[in-house]
Structure 1
Amino acid sequence: LLKNESYSPLTINKLNKQVTDYLESKRYGNFEINIQDVKAIDDKINVILQLNEGQKSLVNKINIKGNSITEDKVIRDSFIISEGDQLNSSKIKKSIDNVRSKQLFSKVDYNIEDSEKKNFKDLNLFVKEQPTGNISAGIGYGTNGGLFEASVNERNFLGQGINLNFTGRLSTEVISGELSYVDPNFNNSNKELATSLFSILDDYKNSGYQNKRVGTKLATKYEIYEDIFFRPNLGIQFDKLEVTTSASSLLRSRQGDFVTTSFGYNFLYDQRDSRFNPTSGSLIYFDQNIATFFSDVPTIQTGVGATFYHELFSDKYIGSAKARLANATAFNNKDVKLS
């Protein structure tokens, strides 16, 4: 943090992390960091950093109470402090924030108490389970006719923190369904595993064509550097485009059955002050999806985009802006598929 640097909650979070990392590298024990911002003249803010060193202790046990549904493993995955580590209030607070951010519990509290061992402390975590499943449905009407959408979602499937979701849409011209499965920490690898199955039927009689798509995707996601995430994926899709005599010449030239096997990847740079309730910062990403030469229409799709967050009038009003640019190019002098 430098003098005259632009102020934001993200900058303060970075300062907190830098100080924490430095103190840990110097083998300081339990400490607490308090950062205050005091408004000064000429639209400037003074940042006051206060360090309080506590009694040096080690963590004896981490006790979790109240999780009648959620497995202990799901909660412990959120902790960045372990039994046997030095007691560190900054790490404890970060761990508690990680548990709360899972949004599996209506209440998360903790306390620290003396252990039967000298110079050891017990960390007790108290959680209160809440419903994590929901069913939603909605209807609408527009220039293209009526629309009905329904979804079933469970964010804590089998108490393992797995997100299972099914969404179906029915309209005058489109019928679609998708089933997705996301394990945020597959096999204790600190890597997300996601898979999905989808089916889409586009039936545009006025335009003279019907397009059927069925496919599946498999992806993983993990942090390769601080705030930088990598998400590779594999997919296969089957298309069937049927046209009538009223279809345009472009559509008629693209009719037929197609198989697409693809490999894609995404780089995400996350600079939000919070990953769950951001008030400032940004998300910037770059992605490519390559339909290999095993596909009927080899194609490369490239995209870049960003989302920005900023407080508008106070911390009660947060604005966001999104932008994306994308391009698709087919190889071997072939036309890009309709879908």
Structure 2
Amino acid sequence: MKIFKLTSFFLLVIFYISKVNAEVIKKIQIKGNSRVSAETIKIYGNIKLNKDYSDSDLNQILIDLNSTNFFQDIDIKLSNGLLTVELVEYPVINKLTILGEPSKKYKEQVIKIIKSKEKDSFIKKNIAEDIKTIKKIYSSIGFNFIKVNTKVKERGKNKVDLVFDIEKGEKSKIKKISFTGDKKIREKRLRDIIASEEDKFWKFISNNTNFNQDLINLDTRLLVNYYKSIGYYDVVITSNSAELKESGDVEITYSIDAGNRYIIKKIITNPDTVFDKNIFYPLEKTYSEFVGSYYSPFKVKKLLENIDELIARNNLQFVEHNVEEIIEDSSIIIKFNIFEGEKKLVERINILGNNVTNESVIRGELLLDEGDPFTKLSLDKSISKIKARNIFGKVSQKVSEGSENNLKIIDINVEEKPTGEISAGAGVGTNGGSIAFIVKENNWLGQGNKVSFDLDASEESLKGTINYTNPNYDFLGNSLNYSLGSVSNDKPDQGYENTLINASINTSFEQYQDFFASVGISLSHDDLTTDSSASDSLKKQDGSFSDFSADYGFAYDKRNRAFMPTEGSIISFNQSFPIYADRAFISNVLSASAYNEFSENITGASKLFISTANGLSNDDVRISRRKNLSTKRLRGFARGKVGPVDGDDHIGGNYAASLNFEANLPKLLPDSTKTDVGLFLDFGNVWGVDYDSTIDDSNKIRSSTGVAASWMSPVGPMSFILSTNLSKANTDKTESFNFNLGTTF
């Protein structure tokens, strides 16, 4: 009873003190403001007449006015009903100038990203941060010895001119990349994994030949992720040293300790007693599919997605989970702990640092919003989704207590980075040469959308495509793509040339876990011109034709990863059918691939491909729409020289199919040769002629077997194929040796 009385007494004292210190504002006096009006200051500070204001309320006014970044000094006094606000305004940046950078593009990029802006406040602490930002931008493109000086010129009337004077210095190029230690993986494969590239005279466009620490950190993450994805759980990149040469170039060495390769021994679900264990029983079937296979964080991620799906399906809230990975000899026990988290709600989410990107782009990736139950799980997954957009250099989060005990405030801080890419490539081989040029922007106008333009030219064709993609249309998680393309083919040996122009709109989305769907429409115009040397059948197709078609597709992807998979499978089906067409046809494509790692030294793959084109209403399929097999699907045969023949011309078929068996032998040759070797067995067929019944449809199974080698030569990657034909048609043209040299600039 005494304790209760004592507590009540203290509460009354606190209440009395707060009331004594509170005072009603009868009059407001604002001094020192010239840039910002008194009424605006009242709004920013939420200052109102005839309202009680305690010391904490006055402190909140101070905080609110400080957050505007208009004032470098604020003094607030309340006495006898008079609130006096004395201000010292920041100077205004009258003009912002970037010196030492001739490129308009880079100047605009710098101005976008730095905090200091024309007509905004001149804040000295921002200048230091801006210098760091500028240095980071230039470091990302190889200028590691950059100097940035600032000059401030007083202009009167509390205005200044701000100058950033940039001395870029010389670029640091990556002269050599080496891998040492217990790698267990061939160096050639490791070079494919990392982003960095050695500087060569032809790589005059690539930024990945420029040395910068962010690129090295990315390489380290990519290497660790790759090793872990194939079971090397305790891999360590023991060092990533960079040695600066007198020339200013850099030699990079990655020292790798791969460690042991682990197999998943057991997977356990450990739910808290507050949950019904029966909810998680369906996971046991999924677990059995992974037990006995090599450990991979991708597998753990997939299992966590299954757990999250069960949690959502059963409408469980405030649920958290974590993963315990217990090592026993050369195996791992994976334990999922599922427990009830704090019952907190999200009061507010603040997005910070997005000087270029619209806030809606970031919020569109969040899995939680104001008023939602707060879980660390949802926040971590949201941060991962933002990072996956690949438009920010860094993404971090901070959680603080809200205005009440059951509320949380989340600050998400992003760091903008350059999002444009330019690349070029060239290739030459037994099938001729080609050159390609690609320009990409991954954050168009700060809206998170992707724009790309690519051009591909060879001896007989010219292709160009413009793509515009919204990866999260209307924040539904669906990708919306617009495309405009043109293909011109000049075939003087066959007596024709044609131009195909195509425009399309399509959307794609993940309908169910691992199950993807797409749907779209396209409009195309085909113009075929023949000369006197063309066959009579081709001359009959001379002219212009248009069609408007719809298409849809499905894909079921169970690969362990999209890049260099070693297990799992993917199957897809696509169909296109006419809505209106001068010559109507329906097209179908079915493809399937399965991968299996027989041992550390042998990885196998089997691939099936079937493609058809059939005319409707007695219409014939035009020459540009007929089917062929690429030299990757049917090796040992010349490109486009398989299937039906009209006169002396191979015309493709209404049907094409292939079946491939491949085995990669990564350790057959010493690592020093920088060469991978594989074996293959191919079966294929191109058949069917709908426009002339007198032409042999060439329905015969072709087959070949041989050796494929990929060599990282001093002038770029080269591939060689040595093959022998097991079966063929009399009209087919074979190719027992094929090589290709291709590289990027």
Q: TM (normalized to structure 2)?
A: 0.41
1:89 partner amino acid:
K
Matched, 1:77 2:364: yes
Aligned residue in 2 for 1:192: 479
**Equivalent residue of 2:474, what SS?**
helix
**Equivalent residue of 1:251, what SS?**
helix
Pick from 23, 26, 31 the counterpart of residue 320 of structure 2.
31
1: distance between equivalents of 2:611 and 2:397? 47
1: distance between equivalents of 2:355 and 2:594? 39
What displacement does 1:213 show? 0.9
2:289 partner amino acid:
S
What displacement does 1:35 show? 4.3
Matched, 1:304 2:590: yes
- After superposing the two structures, state which structure 1 stretch, 24-33 or 203-212, moved more: 24-33
In the alignment, is the contact (CA less than 8 A) between 2:521 and 2:551 conserved in 1? yes
**Equivalent residue of 2:383, what SS?**
helix
2: distance between equivalents of 1:114 and 1:319? 54
Q: Deviations over 1:290-319 (max 9, x none)?
A: 124x312211111122355677988xxx99
Aligned residue in 2 for 1:15: 303
Calculate the aligned-residue CA RMSD, in Å: 3.1
Aligned residue in 2 for 1:107: 394
**Equivalent residue of 1:137, what SS?**
strand
Q: How does 1:174-323 map to 2 (within 5 A)?
A: 174-272=461-559, 281-292=568-579, 294-307=580-593, 323=608
What displacement does 1:52 show? 4.7
| Residues 171 and 119 of structure 1: CA distance in aligned 2, closer, same or farther (over 3 Å) | same
Q: How does 1:314-333 map to 2 (within 5 A)?
A: 323-333=608-618
Q: Deviations over 1:206-262 (max 9, x none)?
A: 221101111211112233334433211111111111112222344334322211211
Q: Deviations over 1:174-218 (max 9, x none)?
A: 122111111122334443221111111101112211011112111
**Equivalent residue of 1:230, what SS?**
strand
- After superposing the two structures, state which structure 1 stretch, 223-232 or 199-208, moved more: 223-232
Q: How does 1:25-174 map to 2 (within 5 A)?
A: 25=314, 27-36=316-325, 38=327, 46-143=333-430, 145-174=432-461
2:465 partner amino acid:
E
| Residues 275 and 88 of structure 1: CA distance in aligned 2, closer, same or farther (over 3 Å) | farther
Aligned residue in 1 for 2:648: none
Identity %: 32
- After superposing the two structures, state which structure 1 stretch, 169-178 or 266-275, moved more: 266-275
| Residues 20 and 218 of structure 1: CA distance in aligned 2, closer, same or farther (over 3 Å) | closer
In the alignment, is the contact (CA less than 8 A) between 1:13 and 1:273 conserved in 2? no
2:415 partner amino acid:
K
In the alignment, is the contact (CA less than 8 A) between 1:211 and 1:240 conserved in 2? yes
Count of residue pairs brought into register by the alignment: 334
In the alignment, is the contact (CA less than 8 A) between 1:291 and 1:297 conserved in 2? no
| Residues 333 and 168 of structure 1: CA distance in aligned 2, closer, same or farther (over 3 Å) | same
Matched, 1:2 2:284: yes
**Equivalent residue of 1:91, what SS?**
helix
2: distance between equivalents of 1:230 and 1:328? 22
2: distance between equivalents of 1:19 and 1:170? 49
1: distance between equivalents of 2:446 and 2:595? 33
- After superposing the two structures, state which structure 1 stretch, 270-279 or 45-54, moved more: 270-279
Aligned residue in 1 for 2:220: none
2: distance between equivalents of 1:295 and 1:84? 52
1: distance between equivalents of 2:383 and 2:595? 24
In the alignment, is the contact (CA less than 8 A) between 1:65 and 1:127 conserved in 2? yes
What displacement does 1:136 show? 1.6
**Equivalent residue of 1:2, what SS?**
helix
In the alignment, is the contact (CA less than 8 A) between 2:554 and 2:573 conserved in 1? yes
| Residues 160 and 312 of structure 1: CA distance in aligned 2, closer, same or farther (over 3 Å) | farther
2:511 partner amino acid:
I
1: distance between equivalents of 2:449 and 2:607? 28
Q: TM (normalized to structure 1)?
A: 0.86
In the alignment, is the contact (CA less than 8 A) between 1:70 and 1:160 conserved in 2? yes
2:478 partner amino acid:
K
2: distance between equivalents of 1:310 and 1:99? 32
**Equivalent residue of 1:159, what SS?**
coil
Q: Which has the higher contact order (CA 8 A, sep 6+)?
A: 1
2: distance between equivalents of 1:33 and 1:277? 29
**Equivalent residue of 2:583, what SS?**
coil
Q: Deviations over 1:273-305 (max 9, x none)?
A: 66799776444321100124x312211111122
2: distance between equivalents of 1:310 and 1:109? 38
2: distance between equivalents of 1:251 and 1:284? 35
Aligned residue in 1 for 2:622: 337
- Structure 1 residues without counterparts, runs of 5 or longer: none
In the alignment, is the contact (CA less than 8 A) between 2:323 and 2:334 conserved in 1? no
2:322 partner amino acid:
I
1: distance between equivalents of 2:340 and 2:474? 37
In the alignment, is the contact (CA less than 8 A) between 1:30 and 1:87 conserved in 2? no
**Equivalent residue of 1:63, what SS?**
strand
Higher helix share: 2
In the alignment, is the contact (CA less than 8 A) between 1:227 and 1:269 conserved in 2? yes
In the alignment, is the contact (CA less than 8 A) between 2:479 and 2:508 conserved in 1? yes
Q: Which has the larger radius of gyration?
A: 2
1: distance between equivalents of 2:350 and 2:564? 28
1:186 partner amino acid:
Y
2: distance between equivalents of 1:123 and 1:319? 47
What displacement does 1:26 show? 5.7
